[in-house]
Amino acid sequence: MKVYIGPYKSWFGPYQLAEKLMFWVPKDRDEYGFEHNSDRVHRFGEWLAHGSIAPELKVGDPSKWIEDRPKTWLYRFLEWIDSKRERTVSVQIDRYDTWGMCETLALITLPMLKQLKASKQGSPFIDDEDVPEHLRSTSAPPKENEGDTDDNHHARWDWVLDEMIFAFEHKVDTSWEDEFYTGTHDFSFVKQEDGNFQMVRGPNDTAHWDKEGHDIIQARITNGFRLFGRYYESLWD
C-alpha cells in the first residue's frame, strides 16, 4: 500500500490577500478574547473584492453582509485559481493489503485516533448508553441553561476515543492473547478402535487457557470497534 493525501484545499480570496499584505496591523480581540482582523484589514479586503467599501458593513454582523455585490477582476481571478486546485489524493492498494484488511486499516487508524485525541478542539454528543454510568449526563451536576453541555460532555468523548484506541492497539498487537495461555503442553494422539485418533493429555501437561479473562478483553475490543462505527462521522477536529 502507498498512500499520499495532501492537505484540504483552503480558499484564498481577497480578504485572505488583504490579511497577508497587512500583516503588520495588530489583531483585535472580541469580548470573549478571540482574535480577529481589525476593521482596517477587513475594509481593505472589501475594496479588493468589490472595488468599494459598503458603509453599512460591520465586521461580525452577518445581517449587514451583502451577497450580490459586483466582484473585481482580482476576485474573479482568485476564484479561477481556486477552481483549478484539487486536493492531492493518491492511494495504491496491493494484493496483500486485503489478506488481513482489518490489520492493514488498524495500522493507519490507530495513529490517527491518537493524534485526534491529542489535538481535538471539541467533542461531539455521545449517548449515555455508550459510556459507564459515572460519565453519563445523568451523573453530572444540573445544567444552568438548557443549551449548555453537562460537566461530563468532554469526558464521554475522551472515554470513547480511549476505547477505540484500545481496540485498534490490540488489533495491531496480535500477541495480546498470549498472556492468557500458561503452562506447557504434554499430549499424544492415541489411535482408537474405530481407527480415529484422540488427543490424550500426558502427566506433564500443565497448559491452561484463561477463557474468562480472554473474553473480557475481547468484549472490550469488540465494543471499541462498535463505538468506532457508531461515531465514525464524529471523527473530526
pLDDT tens readout for residues 34-89: 788 888 998 899 899 998 876 554 555 555 555 567 899 999 999 999 999 999 99
- State whether 113 and 223 are in the same domain: yes
Torsion of CA 154, 220, 115, 96, to 10 degrees: -150
Residues 79 and 153 in one domain: no
92 in any annotated domain? no
The verdict on 116 and 165 lying in the same domain is yes
Q: Does some domain include residue 7? A: yes
* Domain total of the chain: 2
Q: Do 80 and 104 lie in a common domain?
A: no
pLDDT of residue 204: 85
Residue 60 structural domain: 2-84
Q: Are residues 18 and 106 in the same domain?
A: no
170: in domain: yes
Angle in degrees, CA 50, 80, 88, rounded to 5: 130
Per-residue confidence (pLDDT) for residue 60, from 0 to 100: 52
How far, in Å, CA of 184 to CA of 228, rounded?
A: 38
105 and 79 in a common domain: no
Least confident window among 89-98, 150-159, 204-213: 204-213
Same domain membership, residue 113 and residue 23 = no
- Torsions phi, psi for 196 (to 5 deg): -85, 165
Indicate whether 129 and 209 sit together in one domain: yes
pLDDT tens track for 81-115: 999 999 999 999 999 999 999 999 999 999 999 99
Whether 31 shows a pLDDT value over 80: the answer reads no
Confidence of residue 200 (pLDDT cuts 50, 70, 90): confident
Kindly report the pTM of this predicted structure.
Answer: 0.75
Do 133 and 218 share a domain, yes or no? yes
Q: Do residues 172 and 183 make contact, with C-beta atoms less than 8 angstroms apart?
A: no
Q: In terms of residues, how long is the chain?
A: 237
